């Protein structure tokens, strides 16, 4: 999509868990080529929002459109097929498998099915293509030449890069990242920020949940702020920083 085009719209999105309203009539738009931060205190509803956008959970009410399609009731797999990719708040790698195999797994509709199982019905041409792409994506995150190391042997920062490589299989339009910088050292965060900026210049649209304010403020074009399930405000980093509601709820308090 052309830079600036609206690729995702969340409209009056609500998610209830029993009596708890985890997401309360939240709406926003995401434009192609932007890095958008989703911030807010613990329990604000950020991960739930990501689950709703990616089809991992069903909306209670409201709607989501992505790439000009109503995806409100679409499966996670079908939304992924339209170009949505994600990583999770907790690392979901296979520690006993190689970097290459971990990334190649991203080719399988991002389900939990293993490549070995899926591999039984892969023809050789398809297999070659997938492993070639896995090498390309590993190189893209700076892990060229390390294909055969085991994922479990990597420091956390490198595991996060590996997860991003996996999510990049099949060239997503939009990448949704839930706390990719959590637990990383300062130098690792710098590497991650550089990669995300590189992906943006390659045309990937990014939405990111992140707690480290310096990290997120220096990275994103725009922020959506949530608090107790509701959208508190949205705007560019400077506007969010000086907003008194945000300061009271989150930043300064």
Single out the segment in contact with ligand ADP by CB under 6 A; choices: 43-51, 80-88, 194-202, 241-249.
43-51
- Find the helix or strand (DSSP H, E) in which 227 lies: strand 222-227
Which CB, 168 or 206, lies closer to ligand ADP?
Answer: 206
Place of tokens 């971990």: 102
- Using the rule CB under 6 A, is 42 a contact of ligand ADP? yes
Buried b (16+ CB within 10 A) or exposed e, 135-167: bebbebbebeeebeeebeebeebbbbbbbbbbb
The listed partner (Mg ion, ligand ADP, none) that binds 45, CB under 5 to 8 Å by sort, is: ligand ADP
By CB under 6 A, residue 201 contacts ligand ADP: no
Is 45 a residue that touches ligand ADP (CB under 6 A)? yes
CB of 43 to ligand ADP, least distance (A): 4
Single out the segment in contact with Mg ion by CB under 5 A; choices: 41-49, 60-68, 92-100, 232-240: 41-49
Provide CB contacts within 8 A for 227, sequence distance 6+: 40, 41, 44, 249, 250
Among 37, 45, 47, 180, the residue binding Mg ion under the rule CB under 5 A is: 47
Residue 17 interaction partner, one of ligand ADP, Mg ion, none, beta carbon < 5-8 Å per kind: ligand ADP
How many angstroms separate the CA atoms of 237 and 253, rounded? 18
The position carrying tokens 């990275």 is 219
- The whole-angstrom separation of Cα 202 and Cα 200 is 5
C-beta of residue 61 within 8 angstroms of C-beta of residue 46:
no
Does residue 48 interact with ligand ADP by CB under 6 A?
yes
Smallest separation, CB 115 to ligand ADP (Å): 28
* 47 near ligand ADP, judged by CB under 6 A: yes
Instruction: Tell me which residues touch ligand ADP (CB under 6 A).
Output: 17, 20, 22, 40, 42-48
């Amino acid at each position: 999509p052309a830079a600036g085009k609206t690729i995702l719209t969340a409209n009056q999105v609500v998610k209830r868990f029993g009596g708890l309203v985890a997401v309360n009539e939240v709406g926003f738009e995401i434009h192609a080529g932007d890095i958008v931060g989703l911030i807010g205190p613990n329990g604000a509803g950020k991960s739930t929002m990501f689950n709703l956008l990616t089809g991992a959970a069903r909306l209670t009410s409201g709607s989501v459109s992505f790439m000009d399609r109503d995806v409100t009731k679409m499966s996670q797999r079908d939304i992924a097929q339209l170009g949505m990719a994600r990583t999770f708040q907790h690392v979901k790698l296979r520690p006993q498998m190689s970097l290459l195999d971990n990334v190649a797994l991203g080719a399988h509709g991002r389900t939990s099915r293993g490549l070995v199982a899926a591999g039984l019905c892969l023809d050789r041409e398809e297999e070659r293509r997938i492993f070639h792409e896995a090498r390309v994506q590993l190189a893209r995150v700076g892990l060229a030449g390390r294909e055969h190391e085991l994922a479990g042997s990597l420091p956390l920062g490198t595991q996060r890069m590996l997860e991003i490589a996996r999510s990049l299989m099949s060239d997503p339009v939009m990448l949704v990242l839930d706390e990719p910088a959590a637990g990383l050292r300062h130098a690792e965060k710098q590497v991650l920020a550089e990669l995300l900026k590189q992906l943006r210049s390659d045309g990937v649209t990014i939405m990111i949940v992140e707690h480290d304010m310096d990290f997120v403020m220096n990275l994103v074009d725009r922020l959506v702020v949530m608090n107790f399930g509701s959208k508190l405000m949205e705007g560019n980093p400077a506007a969010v920083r000086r907003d008194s509601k945000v300061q009271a709820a989150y930043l300064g308090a």
